[in-house]
Amino acid sequence: MDKKAIPSIHEKNEIIYRIIDVMIRREHFLILGHQSPDEDCISSMVAFGLLLSKLNKDVRLCTAENLNTHFQYLVSICRYNSILVDQPCRREGLKVDTVVICDTPKRSMIEGSPEIMAILDNSDILKIEIDHHIGGDSEYIGDKGYCLVTEASSSSELIGHLAFKLNNRSDLLRQYQISNLFTRNVVLAILTGIIGDSQMGQLLKSRREKRYYSIFSNLFNNLLAKETIKETNFSNMDEIFVELQKNSSSEQECFSYFMERKHFSPSVGYVILNPEDMRHLRSMCDNEMIVSVSRAVANVLADESKKFSLVVYYDDPDVSELIQFRMRRSRVYNGFDLRRVLELFNIENGGGHEGAIGFRIQKMERTDLDRYVKKLLSGIEVAVGR
């Protein structure tokens, strides 16, 4: 069945609301694109993955092994936002309840192994599709009611539209402690996709396409203006990627600072950053980067320990008086549901799924953080031993 534009704004919004509901209810997402991916394909995959990572979901992005050098900058964002990237696509250690197919006209063009195609054939796994290719030589891949497929400058534009709807859900932003949905990386990924498919806006025709291009280019320029204290305008793709590369370098510094302070108990790889550590870290990176990098550190330490990770750090005093705790389970270990930690220690301000949890406590409640963490680690070791 050839893809057709969604006939009304109401129907388009209903599809978006269904997709957002899935983003909240489900936990394990696999994001796919097409063979020989272009800017819009990679950008839309990364942008959707970033939105999911803000909701603390388990996200894996599957793409081609040999990408254009420019695209590696986009892929590098994933490492610091708890998004695993498979190049090439494979099924090893894969747990999936939802597949998201981005910017792909028809099923035969999907980048993936026979195992990935078998996942697509599994009716128990929900398929979401986001695409702007309509008309001849196209076919729906997603499940009925979950295909955000319609006219747009790019698939990235459609994800931008979805992001605005998600940003209107103040209840969800509070629940997941999202202070800013449109962070630098989200805006950059969406804008790169729009630019890539429109050749810096030169191919945009409709007022809608031009409006979205203007919205996201202005958002990105405003983000940079806050950091550089000057007006910033981009005239070509190279300038976009230069900024992206700068961001990747800052994230690497932040990541290294965490990892230099790692320790191991028999079952847990852990990092504890005290207030002095946090003051130094904030001189190198902003709060949003610290949050995303802490997730990446949790992933790496879980794999290094072969069982669990624990990352502990203090929030910026201007943001909250909380101490943040993040735990992740290794992909090779399935013998313990991390939600039991919340039960064992009567932790109310937290949540997650069997393989990853996050919780937070008031600073005034834990004046001796090292002692509390030692108690946590001992309790985990006893629980695992049972």
Q: pLDDT at residue 314 above 90?
A: yes
Beta bridge partners of 378: none
* Count of beta carbons in the 10 Å neighbourhood of residue 110: 20
Q: Let me know: does 276 contact 234? Beta carbons within 8 Å.
A: no
Q: Is 121 left (phi over 0), alpha (psi -120 to 50) or beta?
A: alpha
Task: Return residue ranges of the chain for CATH 3.90.1640.10.
Answer: 9-178
Task: Return residue ranges of the chain for CATH 3.10.310.30.
Answer: 261-385
What is the residue-averaged pLDDT of the chain?
84
Tell me the residue type at 384: V
- Write down the architecture of domain 261-385 according to CATH: Roll (3.10)
pLDDT level of residue 183 (50, 70, 90 thresholds): confident
Which residue is associated with the tokens 């597949």? 99
For 92, the token pair is 């090893």
Q: What is the pLDDT of residue 228?
A: 43
More confident residue, 326 or 212: 326
Q: What class has domain 9-178?
A: alpha beta
Q: Which residues contact 104 (CB under 8 A, 6 or more apart)?
A: 32, 33, 34, 41, 110, 129, 131, 133, 141
Tell me the residue type at 220: F
Q: What is the pLDDT of residue 37?
A: 87
For 324, the token pair is 């943040």
Please give the average per-residue pLDDT across 190-211, as a whole number: 67
Q: Let me know: does 201 contact 237? Beta carbons within 8 Å.
A: no
More confident residue, 198 or 92: 92
Which residue is associated with the tokens 């999907």? 110
Distance separating alpha carbons of residues 12 and 9, to the nearest angstrom? 5
Q: Give pTM, 2 decimals.
A: 0.70
Q: What is the pLDDT of residue 231?
A: 44
| Residue among 102, 16, 107 at smallest CA distance from 59 | 102
| φ, ψ of residue 15 in degrees (nearest 5) | -65, -45
Write the pLDDT tens digit of every residue in 125-181.
Answer: 999 999 998 877 789 999 999 999 998 888 998 999 999 999 999 999 988 888 888
